[in-house]
Amino acid sequence: MIVLGVAAASLQDVLSQTLNSVVPLDRIAGKAATDNAIDIVSVEHTPLDEEGRSLVVPGAPDPALTERRIYDLEPGGSTAGIRAPVSAGSTAWQVVLEGRAQQQVRITDIVPVIEEGACSAPLKGTLVQFFPGGDAGVIPLNVAIDDPEPTLRHLSGKNEGEPYFTGPNARHITLDRAETEGLLLRAEASTGYCRWRYRIEYLVSGEKGTTTLSGPEGRPFALTALRADAADYPTVLLEPLGCGRFHRLTGAEYAEALGGEPPATGPMPDGVCEALEGAGGS
Protein backbone atom coordinates (compact mmCIF):
# COMPACT_ATOMS: atom_id res chain seq x y z
CA MET A 1 0.00 0.00 0.00
CA ILE A 2 2.84 2.37 0.81
CA VAL A 3 4.50 1.58 -2.50
CA LEU A 4 1.24 2.28 -4.36
CA GLY A 5 0.81 5.55 -2.46
CA VAL A 6 4.29 6.70 -3.38
CA ALA A 7 3.73 5.67 -6.99
CA ALA A 8 0.44 7.56 -7.14
CA ALA A 9 2.05 10.64 -5.63
CA SER A 10 4.91 10.44 -8.09
CA LEU A 11 2.48 10.14 -11.00
CA GLN A 12 0.55 13.15 -9.74
CA ASP A 13 3.78 15.18 -9.52
CA VAL A 14 4.70 14.21 -13.07
CA LEU A 15 1.24 15.19 -14.37
CA SER A 16 1.37 18.54 -12.54
CA GLN A 17 4.83 19.30 -13.93
CA THR A 18 3.67 18.34 -17.43
CA LEU A 19 0.57 20.54 -17.24
CA ASN A 20 2.56 23.47 -15.86
CA SER A 21 5.08 23.13 -18.68
CA VAL A 22 2.25 23.54 -21.21
CA VAL A 23 -0.05 26.06 -19.44
CA PRO A 24 1.07 27.33 -16.00
CA LEU A 25 -1.70 26.89 -13.43
CA ASP A 26 -1.57 30.54 -12.42
CA ARG A 27 -2.22 31.48 -16.07
CA ILE A 28 -5.27 29.19 -16.10
CA ALA A 29 -6.58 30.92 -12.98
CA GLY A 30 -5.73 34.32 -14.44
CA LYS A 31 -7.63 33.58 -17.65
CA ALA A 32 -10.69 32.59 -15.62
CA ALA A 33 -10.42 35.84 -13.67
CA THR A 34 -10.53 37.98 -16.83
CA ASP A 35 -13.56 36.22 -18.36
CA ASN A 36 -16.73 38.31 -17.97
CA ALA A 37 -14.88 40.68 -15.63
CA ILE A 38 -16.96 43.67 -16.79
CA ASP A 39 -20.71 43.81 -17.35
CA ILE A 40 -22.10 46.52 -19.62
CA VAL A 41 -25.23 47.44 -17.69
CA SER A 42 -26.66 50.07 -20.06
CA VAL A 43 -25.89 52.15 -23.15
CA GLU A 44 -28.16 55.16 -23.68
CA HIS A 45 -28.06 58.06 -26.10
CA THR A 46 -27.61 61.20 -24.00
CA PRO A 47 -27.54 64.45 -26.00
CA LEU A 48 -25.49 67.25 -24.48
CA ASP A 49 -28.36 69.71 -24.59
CA GLU A 50 -26.13 72.72 -24.00
CA GLU A 51 -24.69 71.98 -27.48
CA GLY A 52 -27.87 71.20 -29.35
CA ARG A 53 -27.88 68.21 -31.69
CA SER A 54 -28.31 67.34 -35.33
CA LEU A 55 -29.45 64.21 -37.17
CA VAL A 56 -29.31 63.17 -40.80
CA VAL A 57 -32.00 60.85 -42.15
CA PRO A 58 -30.32 59.24 -45.19
CA GLY A 59 -32.01 59.06 -48.56
CA ALA A 60 -34.67 61.12 -50.28
CA PRO A 61 -36.81 63.64 -48.32
CA ASP A 62 -39.33 61.78 -46.17
CA PRO A 63 -42.84 63.32 -45.93
CA ALA A 64 -43.43 61.31 -42.74
CA LEU A 65 -41.01 63.60 -40.91
CA THR A 66 -43.43 66.11 -39.41
CA GLU A 67 -42.93 68.51 -36.50
CA ARG A 68 -44.51 66.06 -34.07
CA ARG A 69 -42.54 63.06 -35.27
CA ILE A 70 -39.05 64.59 -35.24
CA TYR A 71 -39.01 64.31 -31.43
CA ASP A 72 -39.30 60.51 -31.75
CA LEU A 73 -36.08 60.26 -33.73
CA GLU A 74 -33.23 58.40 -32.01
CA PRO A 75 -29.82 57.71 -33.58
CA GLY A 76 -29.71 54.24 -35.07
CA GLY A 77 -33.36 53.53 -34.32
CA SER A 78 -36.23 53.32 -36.80
CA THR A 79 -39.53 55.06 -36.05
CA ALA A 80 -42.63 53.60 -37.73
CA GLY A 81 -41.49 53.68 -41.34
CA ILE A 82 -38.93 56.50 -41.00
CA ARG A 83 -35.39 55.54 -42.01
CA ALA A 84 -32.91 55.24 -39.14
CA PRO A 85 -31.26 58.63 -38.49
CA VAL A 86 -27.55 59.16 -37.84
CA SER A 87 -26.15 61.72 -35.40
CA ALA A 88 -24.39 64.61 -37.13
CA GLY A 89 -21.52 66.75 -35.87
CA SER A 90 -21.43 65.19 -32.41
CA THR A 91 -23.09 62.48 -30.36
CA ALA A 92 -22.93 61.35 -26.73
CA TRP A 93 -23.74 58.05 -25.04
CA GLN A 94 -24.01 57.36 -21.34
CA VAL A 95 -22.57 53.96 -20.46
CA VAL A 96 -22.78 52.16 -17.11
CA LEU A 97 -20.17 49.47 -16.40
CA GLU A 98 -20.15 47.01 -13.49
CA GLY A 99 -17.26 44.97 -12.07
CA ARG A 100 -18.02 41.23 -12.08
CA ALA A 101 -14.67 39.69 -11.10
CA GLN A 102 -13.82 38.58 -7.58
CA GLN A 103 -10.76 40.85 -7.76
CA GLN A 104 -10.66 44.53 -8.66
CA VAL A 105 -10.85 45.32 -12.38
CA ARG A 106 -8.60 48.13 -13.62
CA ILE A 107 -9.64 49.65 -16.96
CA THR A 108 -6.44 50.79 -18.67
CA ASP A 109 -7.82 52.03 -22.00
CA ILE A 110 -10.96 52.39 -24.10
CA VAL A 111 -10.04 52.31 -27.78
CA PRO A 112 -12.39 53.23 -30.67
CA VAL A 113 -12.25 50.57 -33.40
CA ILE A 114 -13.54 51.89 -36.75
CA GLU A 115 -15.72 49.49 -38.75
CA GLU A 116 -14.07 48.46 -42.03
CA GLY A 117 -10.95 50.35 -40.95
CA ALA A 118 -11.89 53.84 -42.17
CA CYS A 119 -14.58 56.53 -42.27
CA SER A 120 -16.27 57.57 -45.52
CA ALA A 121 -17.77 60.79 -46.95
CA PRO A 122 -20.35 62.65 -44.81
CA LEU A 123 -23.93 61.51 -45.34
CA LYS A 124 -26.53 63.39 -47.36
CA GLY A 125 -30.24 63.29 -46.64
CA THR A 126 -32.69 65.26 -44.51
CA LEU A 127 -30.97 67.40 -41.89
CA VAL A 128 -32.92 67.72 -38.60
CA GLN A 129 -31.62 70.26 -36.07
CA PHE A 130 -32.50 70.59 -32.37
CA PHE A 131 -31.34 73.40 -30.14
CA PRO A 132 -29.65 73.76 -26.73
CA GLY A 133 -31.29 73.18 -23.37
CA GLY A 134 -29.51 71.39 -20.37
CA ASP A 135 -26.53 69.38 -19.02
CA ALA A 136 -25.27 65.89 -18.06
CA GLY A 137 -22.77 64.52 -15.47
CA VAL A 138 -20.53 61.36 -14.91
CA ILE A 139 -16.97 60.88 -16.26
CA PRO A 140 -17.00 62.96 -19.47
CA LEU A 141 -14.72 61.76 -22.28
CA ASN A 142 -14.47 62.97 -25.87
CA VAL A 143 -13.06 61.54 -29.11
CA ALA A 144 -12.61 63.06 -32.57
CA ILE A 145 -13.75 59.87 -34.22
CA ASP A 146 -12.61 60.76 -37.76
CA ASP A 147 -9.03 61.53 -36.67
CA PRO A 148 -6.36 59.14 -38.04
CA GLU A 149 -5.82 57.81 -34.49
CA PRO A 150 -9.02 58.52 -32.50
CA THR A 151 -8.24 58.78 -28.78
CA LEU A 152 -10.49 59.35 -25.78
CA ARG A 153 -9.64 62.67 -24.12
CA HIS A 154 -10.82 64.73 -21.16
CA LEU A 155 -13.94 66.62 -22.24
CA SER A 156 -13.68 69.28 -19.53
CA GLY A 157 -11.69 70.37 -16.47
CA LYS A 158 -8.04 71.33 -16.07
CA ASN A 159 -6.87 68.51 -18.37
CA GLU A 160 -9.41 69.27 -21.12
CA GLY A 161 -8.21 67.96 -24.48
CA GLU A 162 -5.49 65.70 -23.02
CA PRO A 163 -5.62 61.89 -23.52
CA TYR A 164 -7.47 60.28 -20.63
CA PHE A 165 -5.79 56.87 -20.45
CA THR A 166 -2.29 57.75 -21.71
CA GLY A 167 0.28 60.51 -21.37
CA PRO A 168 1.71 62.33 -18.33
CA ASN A 169 -1.70 62.70 -16.66
CA ALA A 170 -2.99 59.21 -17.49
CA ARG A 171 -6.00 58.04 -15.51
CA HIS A 172 -7.43 54.56 -14.99
CA ILE A 173 -10.88 53.40 -13.87
CA THR A 174 -11.20 50.74 -11.18
CA LEU A 175 -14.20 48.54 -10.46
CA ASP A 176 -14.60 46.33 -7.42
CA ARG A 177 -17.04 43.43 -7.63
CA ALA A 178 -20.61 44.76 -8.04
CA GLU A 179 -19.33 48.35 -8.22
CA THR A 180 -20.70 50.47 -11.08
CA GLU A 181 -19.26 53.45 -12.91
CA GLY A 182 -20.93 55.79 -15.39
CA LEU A 183 -19.11 57.17 -18.41
CA LEU A 184 -20.21 59.85 -20.85
CA LEU A 185 -18.64 59.01 -24.20
CA ARG A 186 -18.94 61.97 -26.57
CA ALA A 187 -17.74 61.75 -30.16
CA GLU A 188 -17.36 64.47 -32.78
CA ALA A 189 -16.78 64.30 -36.53
CA SER A 190 -15.67 67.10 -38.84
CA THR A 191 -14.72 65.29 -42.06
CA GLY A 192 -16.39 61.90 -42.42
CA TYR A 193 -19.09 59.33 -41.69
CA CYS A 194 -17.85 56.76 -39.16
CA ARG A 195 -19.17 53.56 -37.60
CA TRP A 196 -17.28 52.10 -34.64
CA ARG A 197 -17.22 50.09 -31.44
CA TYR A 198 -15.06 50.53 -28.34
CA ARG A 199 -12.50 47.97 -27.15
CA ILE A 200 -12.29 48.14 -23.34
CA GLU A 201 -8.86 46.97 -22.13
CA TYR A 202 -8.39 46.00 -18.49
CA LEU A 203 -6.30 44.13 -15.93
CA VAL A 204 -7.48 41.62 -13.32
CA SER A 205 -4.84 40.21 -10.95
CA GLY A 206 -2.17 41.25 -13.43
CA GLU A 207 -3.84 39.45 -16.34
CA LYS A 208 -4.98 41.37 -19.44
CA GLY A 209 -8.52 41.16 -20.74
CA THR A 210 -10.74 42.95 -23.25
CA THR A 211 -14.44 43.39 -23.88
CA THR A 212 -16.31 45.11 -26.70
CA LEU A 213 -18.71 47.99 -26.15
CA SER A 214 -21.32 48.38 -28.89
CA GLY A 215 -24.44 50.48 -29.27
CA PRO A 216 -27.99 49.30 -28.51
CA GLU A 217 -28.88 45.85 -29.88
CA GLY A 218 -25.20 45.20 -30.66
CA ARG A 219 -25.05 47.74 -33.49
CA PRO A 220 -21.96 49.92 -33.97
CA PHE A 221 -22.08 53.57 -32.96
CA ALA A 222 -22.43 55.91 -35.94
CA LEU A 223 -21.74 59.59 -36.59
CA THR A 224 -21.50 61.75 -39.69
CA ALA A 225 -19.84 65.11 -40.08
CA LEU A 226 -22.13 67.97 -41.03
CA ARG A 227 -21.61 68.90 -44.65
CA ALA A 228 -19.92 72.26 -45.19
CA ASP A 229 -22.69 73.52 -47.49
CA ALA A 230 -26.27 73.32 -46.19
CA ALA A 231 -27.43 73.26 -49.81
CA ASP A 232 -26.16 69.65 -49.99
CA TYR A 233 -29.20 68.60 -47.93
CA PRO A 234 -32.40 68.37 -50.01
CA THR A 235 -34.53 69.13 -46.93
CA VAL A 236 -33.83 70.79 -43.58
CA LEU A 237 -36.13 70.59 -40.54
CA LEU A 238 -35.62 73.03 -37.65
CA GLU A 239 -37.42 72.41 -34.35
CA PRO A 240 -39.51 75.29 -32.91
CA LEU A 241 -36.98 76.08 -30.14
CA GLY A 242 -34.57 77.41 -32.76
CA CYS A 243 -36.64 80.26 -34.16
CA GLY A 244 -39.93 80.06 -32.28
CA ARG A 245 -41.66 77.77 -34.74
CA PHE A 246 -41.07 74.65 -36.84
CA HIS A 247 -39.40 75.25 -40.20
CA ARG A 248 -39.30 72.89 -43.20
CA LEU A 249 -37.19 74.33 -46.00
CA THR A 250 -34.76 73.32 -48.70
CA GLY A 251 -31.04 73.11 -48.06
CA ALA A 252 -30.52 75.97 -50.51
CA GLU A 253 -32.90 78.20 -48.52
CA TYR A 254 -31.12 77.29 -45.28
CA ALA A 255 -27.70 77.95 -46.85
CA GLU A 256 -28.87 81.40 -47.94
CA ALA A 257 -30.21 82.18 -44.47
CA LEU A 258 -26.88 81.09 -42.94
CA GLY A 259 -25.08 83.55 -45.21
CA GLY A 260 -22.51 81.06 -46.40
CA GLU A 261 -21.70 79.69 -42.95
CA PRO A 262 -21.84 75.87 -42.52
CA PRO A 263 -24.63 74.32 -40.47
CA ALA A 264 -23.57 73.57 -36.88
CA THR A 265 -24.93 72.33 -33.58
CA GLY A 266 -25.55 75.01 -30.98
CA PRO A 267 -27.67 78.17 -30.78
CA MET A 268 -29.09 79.56 -34.00
CA PRO A 269 -26.68 82.24 -35.29
CA ASP A 270 -27.84 85.86 -35.10
CA GLY A 271 -29.93 86.99 -38.03
CA VAL A 272 -30.79 83.51 -39.31
CA CYS A 273 -34.32 83.44 -37.86
CA GLU A 274 -35.13 86.76 -39.48
CA ALA A 275 -33.78 85.50 -42.79
CA LEU A 276 -35.83 82.31 -42.52
CA GLU A 277 -39.07 84.23 -42.12
CA GLY A 278 -38.62 85.47 -45.65
CA ALA A 279 -37.41 82.14 -47.06
CA GLY A 280 -40.85 80.64 -47.50
CA GLY A 281 -40.21 77.62 -45.21
CA SER A 282 -43.40 76.09 -43.79
Q: For position 50, what pLDDT does the model report?
A: 75
Give 69-91 pLDDT, tens digit per residue.
888 888 876 555 667 899 999 99
Model pTM score:
0.83
Q: For position 62, what pLDDT does the model report?
A: 80
Q: For position 80, what pLDDT does the model report?
A: 56
* pLDDT tens sequence for the chain (282 residues): 333 333 333 433 432 343 243 333 333 344 556 788 999 999 999 877 678 889 999 988 888 888 888 888 888 765 556 678 999 999 999 999 999 999 999 999 999 999 999 999 999 999 999 988 654 457 899 999 999 999 999 998 899 999 999 999 999 999 999 999 999 999 999 999 999 999 999 999 999 999 999 998 899 999 999 999 999 999 999 999 889 999 999 999 999 999 989 998 888 888 999 999 865 556
Q: For position 79, what pLDDT does the model report?
A: 59
Asked if 60 contacts 28 with a C-beta cutoff of 8 angstroms, the reply is no
Sequence-distant (6+) residues with CB within 8 A of 187 are 90, 91, 92, 112, 142, 143, 144, 145, 194, 221, 223
Q: For position 4, what pLDDT does the model report?
A: 34
User: In the chain, which residue ranges form alpha helices assigned H by DSSP?
Assistant: 2-22, 25-34, 240-243, 251-258, 272-277
Q: For position 83, what pLDDT does the model report?
A: 76
Secondary structure, 3-state, 95-144: EEEEECCCCCEEEEEEEEEEHHHCCECCCCEEEEEECCCCCCCCEEEEEE
The β-bridge relationship of strands 105-114 and 193-204 is antiparallel
How many alpha carbons lie under 13 Å from residue 268 in its C-beta half-sphere?
21
Q: For position 81, what pLDDT does the model report?
A: 62
Q: For position 22, what pLDDT does the model report?
A: 38
Give 118-149 pLDDT, tens digit per residue.
999 999 999 999 988 654 457 899 999 999 99
